[in-house]
């Protein structure tokens, strides 16, 4: 359906509103033997091009849905210092042991943050529990935003296994680190994450308190009737949360960050 409306506004300017609805069928089928390899032949060839633009465009095409036979090409691309970042999305979607190992190399302290942060995010998206200790190790060695990002993703990968490490860092004198701790605790989707987050409501850092309040809302779909912007109000929020949790800790449902539902006030 095609629909176009043309009208004038108060300044006599012509405004055109265009609405297009299209319907079409898409047929999905398994490829015939060798068909997929043939379709990807040009892309894999262009990944070896000396032309950076050609190589980048080929990487974008392969990254969308990389077949297993593209693994070697993506691993090779990831070692090209000029376009290594172009391989990260494809390695994430492959998520093979070799792909994950290469992402950890890119995320390690020997890599620049330009590749390290996207690689950490990719590993978090994969979310393989076998990567828990390796991600916690990277987080302990990194600094600033990259460290915070690593702890956020450690919560996603490790779930409850990350809680002892994250809880041990509550109270650190590092605002950015505390944001990562709160995000990591939220990503664990665990009842055990709630008490340390309630404790963070008393942190002297305003941003850390707000991150904790946001994390509590993520986990419980509840919010305090008191703001946490100033310390006096934050203390009231802490008291309210502590009282609510003491009553509801065994029955309150816990949510993950990808579950959407309305946030209700504590009662």
Query: Taking all residues of the chain, what is their mean pLDDT, rounded to a whole number?
Result: 91
**One domain, residues 121 and 158:** no
If you ran DSSP here, which 8-state letter would residue 86 be given? G
pLDDT tens, position by position, 202-255: 999 999 999 999 999 999 999 999 999 999 999 999 999 999 999 999 999 999
Please indicate, yes or no, if residue 137 is contained in any of the structural domains: no
**Dist CA 22 CA 250 (whole Å):** 50
Please say if the pLDDT value at position 201 is more than 70. Answer: yes
Residue at which a domain ends, from 126, 152, 177 = 126
In a domain, 214, yes or no: yes
Could you say which of 126, 157, 178 is where a domain stops?
126
Q: What percent of the chain has pLDDT over 90?
A: 80
Asked if residue 181 and residue 99 are part of one domain, the reply reads no
Residue pLDDT, tens place only, 97-153 = 999 999 999 998 555 556 689 999 999 999 999 999 999 999 999 999 999 999 999
Residue 57 lies in a domain: no
- Could you tell me where the DSSP H helices lie in 78-158? 88-94, 97-107, 113-126, 132-141, 144-158
- pLDDT at position 30: 87
**Nearest C-alpha neighbor of 97 from the set 131, 74, 122:** 131
Q: Is residue 71 part of a domain?
A: yes
Q: What pLDDT sits at residue 92?
A: 97
- Number of domains forming the structure of the chain: 2
Residue 93 lies in a domain: yes
Domain that holds residue 180: 144-267
Domain-ending residue, one of 100, 126, 152? 126
The pLDDT, as a whole number, for residue 10 is 60
Does pLDDT of 7 surpass 60? no
What contacts 112, CB < 8 A, 6 or more positions away?
A: none
Global pTM value: 0.85
- Is there a single domain that holds both residue 162 and residue 74? no
């Amino acid at each position: 359906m095609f629909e176009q409306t043309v009208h004038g506004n108060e300044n006599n300017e012509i405004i055109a509103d265009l609405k297009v609805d299209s319907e079409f069928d898409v047929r999905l089928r398994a490829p015939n033997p060798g068909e997929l390899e043939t379709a990807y032949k040009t892309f894999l060839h262009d990944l070896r091009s000396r032309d950076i633009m050609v190589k980048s465009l080929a990487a974008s095409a392969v990254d969308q849905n990389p077949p297993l036979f593209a693994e070697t090409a993506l691993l090779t691309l990831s070692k090209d210092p000029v376009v290594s970042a172009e391989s990260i999305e494809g390695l994430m979607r492959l998520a093979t042991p070799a792909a994950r190992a290469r992402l950890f190399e890119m995320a390690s302290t020997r890599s620049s943050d330009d590749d390290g942060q996207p690689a950490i995010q990719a590993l978090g998206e994969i979310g393989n529990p076998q990567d828990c200790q390796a991600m916690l190790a990277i987080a302990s060695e990194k600094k600033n935003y990259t460290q915070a990002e690593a702890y956020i993703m450690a919560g996603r990968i490790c779930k409850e296994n990350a809680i002892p490490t994250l809880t041990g860092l509550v109270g650190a004198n590092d605002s950015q680190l505390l944001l990562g701790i709160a995000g990591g605790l939220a990503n664990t989707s665990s009842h055990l994450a709630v008490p340390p987050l309630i404790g963070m409501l008393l942190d002297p850092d305003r941003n850390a308190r707000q991150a904790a309040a946001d994390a509590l809302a993520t986990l419980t779909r509840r919010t305090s009737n008191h703001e946490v912007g100033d310390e006096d109000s934050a203390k009231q929020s802490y008291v309210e949360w502590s009282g609510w949790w003491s009553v509801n800790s065994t029955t309150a449902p816990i949510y993950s960050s990808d579950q959407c539902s309305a946030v209700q006030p504590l009662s």
